[in-house]
Amino acid sequence: MIRVCQGHVGRVAQGDIYRNVPMLEYVAQADSDVEMSVLYFPLVIVLTQDCDLAQDQRRRSLPEGSGDNHDKMLLSVLVAPLYNAEQVFQGTHMESFGLKMAGIPDKYTKGKIRANQLPRYHYVEFPRSVGMIPSIIDFKHYFPTNLGLLVKTRADYHVCQVSELFREDIPHRFASFLSRIGLPPDDATAPPAEPESGSGAVSPVGEHPASSTK
Amino acid sequence: MREGKGIFSEQYIGKSAHDFVPDIYRGHQDKYVDPRNDQYGLMKAADELGIARPRRVVIRAKIGK
């Protein structure tokens, strides 16, 4: 179980949990018609480094026209959605987007996720006083969001902040997952390469088939 | 959710989340909530309890001169 503080430090901080955060999926325009798709995530956690957020806040709080430059200001804040743990285990947490995720049915893997031993997931169990259900962060899902939006909605949508150590653990594991190196499979386990139709040529490893056609 | 699974039902949100549903919403647990006609604010309540799923909203507009 993690520890949380339910007040906030007067600015957006690392480990903050916000409710109802939008992610702009796309904007398309054809003549005078505009279509915009927005994904709303019920809960997200802020992953951006706290010192960066503190420096940004310090710069923003300076009076207009003062200060040498805007070097420390951030363009966005990196956040990751929190999903209902049980829905993640069932593979249904993205059902509303028409996506079926791989469920995690076996007890052994669930146990590993709960112990944060699988690099892709971070399991978060809140104290009963917070009134939030056990949740999972999937490190494959993250997006930048507007800092001003979080500031503006903080009074209504700020839920709590994950306490020290627990909050550092999350971006640390996220960074480690993001920086993993995907090695090519062994020849023995790789699926057999399909010859190109007609020529019988096989595209070299690592090269897109379309780029090898002449 | 459309298959008779209400937004507060154990089937939809799982057992651990179901334990968090306040009594006031238990009466709605078998009812499907249409977001366009959410007269009791059930979707909002589900958001606040952190038991809602992410959702997509598509906005279409015409821009003129």
- C-beta atoms of B47 and A19 within 8 A: yes
Mean pLDDT of the region A99-115: 90
Residue A163 neighbours by CB under 8 Å, 6+ apart:
A2, A3, A4, A5, A15
d(CA A99, CA A37): 16
C-alpha closest to that of A15 among A51, A46, A53: A46
pLDDT bin (cut points 50, 70, 90) of residue B46 is: confident
Whether B53 has its CB under 8 Å from any CB of chain A: the answer is: yes
Residues A39-81: tens digit of each pLDDT: 999 999 999 999 999 999 998 888 887 878 888 899 999 999 9
Question: What token pair was written down for A55?
Answer: 């420096």
- C-beta atoms of B62 and A34 within 8 A: yes
Instruction: Report whether pLDDT(A111) > 70.
Output: yes
Q: Taking CB atoms and an 8 Å cutoff, what residues of chain B touch A36? A: 58-61
- C-beta atoms of B47 and A35 within 8 A: no
Mean pLDDT of the region A81-104: 89
A26 alpha carbon, distance to own chain's centre: 17
DSSP summary character for residue B40 = T
CB A151 within 8 A of CB A121: no
What residues pair up with A30 in beta bridges, in sequence order? A33
CB A94 within 8 A of CB B54: yes
Length of chain B: 65
Dmax over CA atoms of chain A, in Å, equals: 69
User: In terms of DSSP bridges, do strands A16-30 and A158-162 run parallel, antiparallel, or are they unpaired?
Assistant: antiparallel
Mean pLDDT of the region A16-43: 93
Choose, out of A18, A23, A24, A84, the residue to mutate when testing the contact with B (most B CBs < 10 Å). Answer: A84
